[in-house]
Amino acid sequence: MGPLGSVSKHLKSVIRRCKLGESDFALVEGERLVTSVAKLSQSPPSYLLSTCPHLLARLRDRCRAGHRGQIGDCVLVTDRLMSQLADAATPQACLAVFPKPDPTKAAEIRQRRLDAVTSGGLRLDYSVLCWRVSDPANVGGIARLSWCLGARRLLMTPGSANPWLPKAIRAGAGAHFDLPIVSNCAEFSDASQLLSAFSRILVACSARPKDSLLLTGSRELADTLRQDAGSSICLLLGSEANGLPDELMKSLNEAAPERVTMLHVPMSDYRQTASLNVAAAAGIVLHRLYSLADGGDLLDSAADAAADRLSSAGGRYR
């Protein structure tokens, strides 16, 4: 059968809604990502499209293998039609439409996997909360980092980018189908709600505010988190342009200053350097949390000494 010059109006409608993030389905583009999602997804793809018959057959077999032979419609399309259906600026040779995962089931699976991990480190239960992070690529990148570095879930406040936009899904590299992601979390929109949901709030910043802990090379952070082992921890990330609202930080510090920890991410002469991208900052902090959870306080005396020198080098990092 040759490539089709058209597809059903229903499929076009589904893909159009996927591009807006308004569907119960998600648009997944590219062979590698389709293959990864086929292994992670709770359900087989509802639609599988490709411009290459051999690639279509290969992906069909992979999807069937992961879902007991079940799969939706497989459609061979022309390059022109693929360019119209795809979201990426440079369309790849295939795309798939997967049902979104059930969030309750995803949370149960994620928790079981985290509980099954045995290590000699701290028992840390941490979630990531994005406060009005508006770039879908950043949202997807944070989802990927949260997934890879042991976070239990990713939460999004109203005003954040839709995590199910295709750009976010591409940046997530499969995270959306394994990590519980909850958008429009209005229940975490003020200090009292945050403090009732989490035992500790972690806030990362490139500048070094008063009473903050140095993220790297400091045993203080390990000692602080050791008190929260087994309790729920929140890594709070602010928007790209404005960070976290001053009124929110003021309310948190007035209500329970002992439960709010400011983390300083050291940078080279930060007064002349732009602040870190929010996804980059998330990755640095999450890796530190993961290292503590995986192997306890992994720092040796040499690292502590280096951190002390970094902190006191002519006041550059304070």
Q: How confident is the model at residue 305 (pLDDT cuts 50, 70, 90)?
A: very low
For 179-219, write each residue's pLDDT tens digit.
Answer: 999 999 998 888 999 999 999 999 876 555 556 665 655 57
Is residue 198 located within the same domain as residue 77?
no
For 142-167, write each residue's pLDDT tens digit.
Answer: 999 999 999 999 999 999 999 999 99
Is residue 20 located within the same domain as residue 120?
no
Q: Tell me, rounded to whole angstroms, the distance of Cα 245 from its chain centroid.
A: 22
Cα 244 to Cα 80: distance, rounded to the nearest angstrom:
44
For 101-118, write each residue's pLDDT tens digit.
Answer: 999 999 999 998 888 875
Averaged confidence pLDDT in the chain: 85
**Predicted confidence (pLDDT) at residue 6 exceeds the cutoff of 80:** no
**Predicted confidence (pLDDT) at residue 307 exceeds the cutoff of 50:** no
Specify the pLDDT at position 229: 76
For 69-97, write each residue's pLDDT tens digit.
Answer: 889 999 999 999 999 999 999 999 999 99
The percent of residues in the chain predicted with pLDDT above 70, rounded, is: 83
**Could you tell me if 128 and 151 are in contact, meaning their C-beta atoms sit under 8 angstroms apart?**
yes
Question: What phi-psi label fits residue 157: left (phi over 0), alpha (psi between -120 and 50 degrees) or beta?
Answer: beta
**Predicted confidence (pLDDT) at residue 98 exceeds the cutoff of 90:** yes
Specify the pLDDT at position 167: 98
Which of helix, strand or coil describes residue 244? Answer: coil
Tell me, yes or no, whether 198 lies in a domain: yes
Angle at 259 between CA 191 and CA 299, to 5 degrees: 135
Q: Of 99, 119, 143, which closes a domain?
A: 99
Across residues 279-303, what is the average pLDDT? 73
Specify the pLDDT at position 123: 80
Across residues 287-294, what is the average pLDDT? 86
Is residue 126 located within the same domain as residue 34?
no
Across residues 23-51, what is the average pLDDT? 96
Is residue 72 located within the same domain as residue 151?
no
Is residue 121 located within the same domain as residue 243?
yes
Tell me, yes or no, whether 317 lies in a domain: no
Tell me, yes or no, whether 305 lies in a domain: yes
**Predicted confidence (pLDDT) at residue 303 exceeds the cutoff of 80:** no
**Could you tell me if 157 and 129 are in contact, meaning their C-beta atoms sit under 8 angstroms apart?**
yes
Specify the pLDDT at position 94: 98
Is residue 126 located within the same domain as residue 141?
yes
Is residue 242 located within the same domain as residue 134?
yes
Q: Of 99, 128, 148, which closes a domain?
A: 99
Specify the pLDDT at position 5: 60
Total structural domains in the chain?
Answer: 2
Is residue 262 located within the same domain as residue 279?
yes
Contacting residues for 3 by C-beta, under 8 A, at least 6 apart: 51, 76, 77, 78, 81
Q: Supply the range of the domain harboring residue 78.
A: 9-99
Is residue 81 located within the same domain as residue 112?
no
For 242-270, write each residue's pLDDT tens digit.
Answer: 888 889 988 998 999 889 988 877 777 65
Is residue 42 located within the same domain as residue 121?
no
Q: How confident is the model at residue 227 (pLDDT cuts 50, 70, 90)?
A: confident
Is residue 41 located within the same domain as residue 154?
no
- The two three-digit tokens of residue 188, written as one number: 């975490």
Please report, for the domain that includes residue 165, its CATH number.
3.40.1280.10
Q: How confident is the model at residue 228 (pLDDT cuts 50, 70, 90)?
A: confident
Specify the pLDDT at position 302: 38
Q: Of 83, 99, 115, which closes a domain?
A: 99
Specify the pLDDT at position 207: 58
Specify the pLDDT at position 269: 66
**Predicted confidence (pLDDT) at residue 57 exceeds the cutoff of 90:** yes
The position carrying tokens 């609202």 is 245
Specify the pLDDT at position 274: 63
Report CA Rg, the chain: 22
Is residue 164 located within the same domain as residue 60?
no
For 9-21, write each residue's pLDDT tens digit.
Answer: 899 999 999 999 9
DSSP string, 86-99: --SSS--SEEEEEE
Tell me, yes or no, whether 130 lies in a domain: yes
Cα 83 to Cα 180: distance, rounded to the nearest angstrom:
31
Specify the pLDDT at position 295: 64
Tell me, yes or no, whether 318 lies in a domain: no
Tell me, yes or no, whether 160 lies in a domain: yes
Cα 109 to Cα 103: distance, rounded to the nearest angstrom:
10
